[in-house]
Amino acid sequence: MNPGDLQAPDIEWVALSPSLVVFAAAVVGVLIEAFAPRSARYAAEVVVSSVGLAGAFAAVVALAANGHGTSKSQIAGMGSLAVDGPALFLQGVTVLVGLVSVFLFAERRLEPVAHGARVDSFAAQPAAVPGGKAEQEAVRAGHTTTEIFPLLLFAVGGMLLFPAANDLLVLFIALEILSLPLYLLCALARRRRLLSQESAVKYFLLGAFASAFLLFGVALLYGYAGTTSYAGIADVISGEPSHMEPGLASTMGNDALLLIGGAMVLMGLLFKVGAVPFHMWTPDVYQGAPTPVTGFMASATKVAAFGAMLRLMYVVLPGLQWDWEPVMWGVAIASMVAGAVIAITQTDVKRLLAYSSIAHAGFILSGVVAVSEDGVSSVLFYLGAYSFVTLGAFAVVTLVRDAGGEATHLSKWAGLGRRSPLLAAVFALFLLAFAGIPLTSGFASKFAVFSAVAQSGGMGLVIVGVLASAVAAFFYIRVIVLMFFSEPRPDGPSVVIPSPLTMSVVGVAAAATVVLGVAPQYFLDLADQAGVFVR
């Protein structure tokens, strides 16, 4: 081969179609922002995003039906991305969550009509100084930020790559693609803009820090293995390197690099899932971000990041199980306990859900630690079930409002069950699912994870998990008490009747919660079939 000849990369377009479709839709979204008139943007963006995500979901289903998740699983994109069971399962979940989130983002009936225009829960002019003149003008003109849709699509695209990444550099790139739009989205709340901007800055700074850790870890692992591909690193760990990199002869195979590098990459991922001790950002960001964004972030990011973590642990680091297992045990236990205990003292619904998500990160982590096929499929199932409950819960939060916008302080929720029994009942359903009460999806998923852990000999983890569940149940129940058994406050919030968009989100989430609780077999089967990683 002459030096001038460039070999065209060999891309499996079909196998990568889900993420390609999403990115294409995102690009179209950007073009709409650039060229479409302001009045047409909202409708065009909603249609493009929905169609794009629905198309991506269809692509995932088609791939899975074709056996790409099982017999035909492969490494695509010149070794950069895996197309296998776990990747397709998580991509399916992510795309669905994204699709439902589009509906939440597009909701325009909650905010009072401003100067004749229906507006959503995002800032009219995000670049304007909060409370400044430019903002007032933008509000008066009835502007809305339709850029949220392409941002959402880019984030979803990153999330599709994240659990499929089969190369550390692709992992890092996917992380950045999914994170940057999220940082922005966090800053876009229409009300309480300072809080929102603060949360975005916090998320950005800490997130950048975590990304740096991850990147540093990638560098160290490269120094250890001479390659960034997962399979290549695994080969070096198992002592069968495919080739020696002459320039790295002094560091290759140095276990110190492996341990430190692996730990740093893990740290980056643990930050994204919000596990203790990398959880500090969670409550502030969850509280400050616009609630639709919080719902999206809380469910989809977790799905993607746990997917990436699973692949890293099962493909790259299985040979190191003895080294990382105790640490991960510790992280899982700390997350379960800290999340559950700290949540007790919370007085804000969004912060409460944030701490509950930390506890749930612990539950899921314990499934990750159960290094078995059952462990993988139970984690997959948990992620699917949990993401819909989360999305539904945050969707309900967007509906409970008073004059100041969303009434997130818990005391304002007193007696909600009397004013709007149906909504309170649905929220109670979500809380019971979080608490893991039988006949909800939360129980089925918790049971799946804990039984996988018990079978791999982690009875101690199960017991801690069960006790943490008991503590967690306390604060979920407390909210139910507040809603049903307390007298309504005269100045309490009212429940806004939303458009069919939000209603469908709540409906889908409630249906998923019940179906996955009562008849989980089909989805457990799916997760079971998807439990094998390609190498």
Partner 1 sequence: MSFPLLTATAAVPAIGAVATAAVPAARRTGAKWLALAFSLVTVGFAAAVLLRFDTGSGADRFQLTESHSWIEDFGVRYELGVDGIGATMIALTAVLVPFLIGAGWNDADPVEGEPQATRRWRPTQGFFALILMVEAMVVLSFAATDVFLFYLFFEAMLIPMYFLIGGFGDRAGEQGEEGQARQRSYAAVKFLLYNLVGGLVMLAAVIGLYAQTADQLDAGTFSLQAILEARASGDLDFSTGVERWLFLGFFFAFAIKAPLWPLHTWLPNAMGEATAPVAVLITAIVDKVGTFAMLRFCLGLFPEASDWATPVILVLSLVSILYGALVALGQRDMKRLIAYASISHFGFIVLGVFAMTSQGQGGATLYMINHGIATAALLLVAGFLIARRGSRLIGDYGGVQKTAPVLAGTFLVGGLATLSLPGTGPFVSEFLVLVGTFSRHQAVGIIACTGIVLAALYVLVLYQRTMTGPVRAGLEKLPDLRVRELAVVTPLIGLLLFLGVYPKPLTEIVNPAVEHTLSDVHQTDPEPQIDVSEVEAAE
Instruction: Return residues touching partner 1 (CB under 8 A).
Output: 418-422, 432, 437-439, 443-444, 447-448, 450-451, 454-455, 459, 462-463, 466-467, 469-470, 473-474, 477-478, 481, 484-487, 520-521, 524-525, 528
Nearer to partner 1, 211 or 469 (CB): 469
Residues pairing with 18 in the sheet: none
Whether 288 and 195 have beta carbons less than 8 Å apart is answered as: yes
Alpha-carbon distance of 394 to 350, in angstroms, equals 8
Place of tokens 């975590």: 210
Show Cβ contacts of residue 450 under 8 Å, excluding neighbours closer than 6 positions: 366, 462, 465, 466
Nearer to partner 1, 129 or 422 (CB): 422
What's the CA dihedral at 10, 150, 18, 212 to 10 degrees? 70
Strand intervals (E) in 5-66: none
Nearer to partner 1, 305 or 416 (CB): 416
User: To the nearest whole angstrom, how small is the minimum distance from the Cβ of residue 258 to partner 1?
Assistant: 33
- Report the run of H or E that residue 380 belongs to, with start and end: helix 373-399
Nearer to partner 1, 327 or 422 (CB): 422
Nearer to partner 1, 168 or 468 (CB): 468
User: To the nearest whole angstrom, how small is the minimum distance from the Cβ of residue 525 to partner 1?
Assistant: 7
Upstream peptide bond of 283 is cis (omega within 30 degrees of 0): no
Nearer to partner 1, 281 or 475 (CB): 475
User: To the nearest whole angstrom, how small is the minimum distance from the Cβ of residue 437 to partner 1?
Assistant: 6
Can you give the length of the chain in residues?
535
User: To the nearest whole angstrom, how small is the minimum distance from the Cβ of residue 527 to partner 1?
Assistant: 9
Q: Tell which residue, 129, 288, 138, has the closest CA to residue 201.
A: 288
Nearer to partner 1, 209 or 447 (CB): 447
Please give the C-alpha separations between residue 511 and each of 230, 389, 527, in angstroms, as whole numbers: 38, 10, 19
Q: Tell which residue, 326, 384, 334, 325, has the closest CA to residue 362.
A: 334
CA 96 to chain centre: 12
User: To the nearest whole angstrom, how small is the minimum distance from the Cβ of residue 480 to partner 1?
Assistant: 8
Q: Tell which residue, 317, 287, 157, has the closest CA to residue 225.
A: 317
User: To the nearest whole angstrom, how small is the minimum distance from the Cβ of residue 72 to partner 1?
Assistant: 24
User: To the nearest whole angstrom, how small is the minimum distance from the Cβ of residue 474 to partner 1?
Assistant: 6
User: To the nearest whole angstrom, how small is the minimum distance from the Cβ of residue 501 to partner 1?
Assistant: 23
User: To the nearest whole angstrom, how small is the minimum distance from the Cβ of residue 405 to partner 1?
Assistant: 23
User: To the nearest whole angstrom, how small is the minimum distance from the Cβ of residue 452 to partner 1?
Assistant: 10
Handedness of CA 312, 150, 106, 419 (dihedral sign): positive
Nearer to partner 1, 16 or 336 (CB): 336
User: To the nearest whole angstrom, how small is the minimum distance from the Cβ of residue 508 to partner 1?
Assistant: 22
Neighbours of 212 (CB within 10 A): 12
Nearer to partner 1, 205 or 463 (CB): 463
Nearer to partner 1, 216 or 484 (CB): 484
Degrees, nearest 5: CA angle 99-103-107: 165
Whether 298 and 279 have beta carbons less than 8 Å apart is answered as: no
Nearer to partner 1, 156 or 512 (CB): 512
- Give the CA count within 13 Å in the CB-facing half-sphere of 46: 14
- Report the run of H or E that residue 353 belongs to, with start and end: helix 349-369
Place of tokens 């829960």: 121
Q: Tell which residue, 375, 339, 303, has the closest CA to residue 469.
A: 339
Which residue pairs from 2-7 have beta carbons closer than 8 angstroms and sit at least 24 positions apart in sequence? Answer: none
